[in-house]
Structure 1
Amino acid sequence: MKDLLSTASSIIIILFCISLFFLSEGNRSDSGGPALLNKDSAEIQAGKHPRAKTTLFSRVQSVKLKKGVLMFVSIGEDGLREHFFLIRDKNVVLVKKNAGDMPGNSIKFDDDGHNTLLVTIPNTFDIDLMDAMTTSF
């Protein structure tokens, strides 16, 4: 009888602890407590790294990829600007796709904050990424 009583009381205590755990989780997400007031913690909870950023170069005139260097020319307020970006020895993903979500004459650099850079080049530029990356030095 003593064993049955101790087993029943242990089960009741375990169920009570589990119910407190679930109630505290529900209150945190509903109340918008101090953890959600911080902008950085909200981005982390949304899945975005705090150092993640996107850079869009617009009004791009030409794009070349030669010997592991992405070269492109853009028009700024002060005239033409040449940009050089080293692709080799970095975690860079080159993507060439339709420019549905960005202007056709632009290049987008997405840094995810986890040491990986996604470079999106629209199909409006005549560049063969596979051929440019596989040519020997």
Structure 2
Amino acid sequence: MKDLLTTASSIIIILFCVSLLFLGETRPSESGGSELLTNDNAEFQAAKHPHASTILFSRVQSVKLKKGVLMFVSLDEDGLKEHFFLIRDKNVVLIKKNAGDMPPNSIKFDDDGYNTLLVTIPNTFDIDLLDAMTATF
């Protein structure tokens, strides 16, 4: 009788431990706890930084890149306006691509808020970024 009681209590304890193990695994997925944390984290990372900004210079007439300085001329209400932007010693990414999402004669400056500036120059301007950046000073 003592052996039967010991075996039954051992089986009950083992079943209780196994049920706790299964309940512990299924509970977060039922409530969405762990999935909710990863989704919130992904949404937080995908969201724009509060200090992110975009500046679009439209009606740009010419673009040059010389000695680490991006120079471009835009047409303003008051006439032509020259812009100079030093890109050396800064976290600047120059992008030259088709102007599908922006006007063809424009330059876009995207500040991501994390100390990196993306400068998008459309293919309508004849400028070779690789030659301009690797030219000797």
Q: Which residue of 2 aligns with 1:13?
A: 20
Q: Which residue of 2 aligns with 1:128?
A: 128
Q: Which range moves more in the overlay, 98-107 or 2-11?
A: 2-11
Q: Which range moves more in the overlay, 48-57 or 115-124?
A: 48-57
Distance in 1 (CA, whole Å) between partners of 2:54 and 2:43 is 15
The share of aligned pairs that are identical, in percent, is: 64
Q: Which residue of 1 aligns with 2:78?
A: 78
Distance in 1 (CA, whole Å) between partners of 2:14 and 2:53 is 55
The higher radius of gyration belongs to: 2
Which consecutive unaligned segments of at least 5 residues does structure 2 have? 1-6
* Preserved contact between residue 94 and residue 119 of structure 1 (Cα < 8 Å): yes
C-alpha RMSD of the superposition: 2.6
TM-score normalised by the chain length of structure 1 = 0.75
Q: Which residue of 1 aligns with 2:89?
A: 89
1:1-137 pair list within 5 angstroms: 1=7, 2-25=9-32, 44=44, 47-50=46-49, 51-137=51-137
Distance in 2 (CA, whole Å) between partners of 1:82 and 1:43 is 40
Amino acid at match of 2:54: T
Q: What count of residue pairs does the alignment treat as equivalent?
A: 125
Which consecutive unaligned segments of at least 5 residues does structure 1 have? 30-35
Per the TM alignment, residue 49 of structure 1 is displaced from its structure 2 partner at its CA by: 3.1
Amino acid at match of 2:115: N
Query: Runs in 1 of length 4+ with deviation above 6 angstroms?
Result: none
Distance in 2 (CA, whole Å) between partners of 1:5 and 1:43 is 45
TM-score normalised by the chain length of structure 2 = 0.75
Amino acid at match of 1:18: E
Counterparts in 2 of 1:8 and 1:106: CA distance versus 1, 3 Å: same
